[in-house]
Homo-oligomer: A and B are copies of this chain.
Amino acid sequence: MSPQEQAEAGPPTPVQSVWTRPRAGREQPALSRDQIVAEALRLLDSDGIDALSMRKLGTRLGAGATSLYRHVANKDELIELAIDEIYGEIEIPRSTDPANWRMDAAHCAQSLRATMLRHPWIASVLGEMGMSYLGPNAMRLAEFLLALFTRAGLPTTEADQAASTLVAYVTGMATSEAAYLNVLARSGHTEQQYVESLWPTAEQAAESYPHLREGYAEQRGKDPRTARDENFQYGLDRVLDGLETRTTH
């Protein structure tokens, strides 16, 4: 402000007043990897995968976009961290009674689905992230399922296959649901409204497919949300039925 300060700066260096010169001291809270991942998760959950850009994330943290790269190698790695963070939300029963294996597996499966549906953007990235299963939380889940099927009487190799089967079913189902929730969110309507507005298109597309038409008609009256829940439960029961034929209870 004072003329003296400006005079001190002198011509050699470009004029810098107190206002243009960066303020002394670092007043932003320091960035940390955890903080970055947490904010990325908030952004992803509220606005979806397309809304996540390094610049926007930086702004939210009161930082420049490229500052994030001091804590995270690149955007893909950031997403992998976010994915594993989510895996940490999955409830893992701590029962060890082999007799309960089916209940425990079901509980775990349901929690996995619920977690994915709480963060539907995950469906958009599961197919590109090859290494996400190396994260600590993903491994925790894998270890639990492996132990569970081992206790249920399966040899190591088969326990691994059984766990893969269960996880494949749940992620397959939840991925398709999450994709649907993603476009639903973009539409801005409630699920009821959205389904209603989709009927004409769907019925026209199914015109020449008799079984599909009948299937649509059957689902017409139901609440879509509970229908999804029931469909998931049905398939889960069948998968567990199939696995049960191989266990020694």
Contact = CB atoms under 8 A, between A and B. Distances in A.
A153 interface: no
A143 B209 contact: yes
A83 B69 CA distance: 35
A234 interface: yes
Interface string A143-173: 1001100100000111111101101111111
| Identical chains in the assembly | 2
B124 A212 contact: no
Contacts of A129: 179
A225 interface: no
Nearest to A228: B164
B175 A235 contact: no
A164 B168 contact: no
Contacts of A6: none
A52 interface: no
A188 interface: no
A240 interface: yes
A211 B146 contact: yes
A205 interface: yes
Contacts of A211: 143, 146-147, 150, 156, 159
A246 interface: yes
B234 A245 contact: no
A126 interface: yes
Nearest to A246: B238
A83 B173 CA distance: 18
A9 interface: no
Contacts of A147: 211
A216 to B, nearest CB: 9
Interface of A: 49, 122-131, 134, 136, 139-140, 142-143, 146-147, 150, 156-162, 164-165, 167-173, 175-176, 178-180, 182-184, 201-202, 205-206, 209-212, 214-215, 218-219, 230-231, 234-235, 237-243, 245-246
**Closest CB pairs A-B (n = 3):** A172-B172, A123-B127, A238-B242
16 contacts: A126-B176, A130-B179, A130-B183, A130-B184, A146-B215, A160-B219, A161-B234, A162-B234, A164-B173, A165-B234, A167-B172, A169-B172, A241-B241, A241-B242, A241-B245, A242-B243
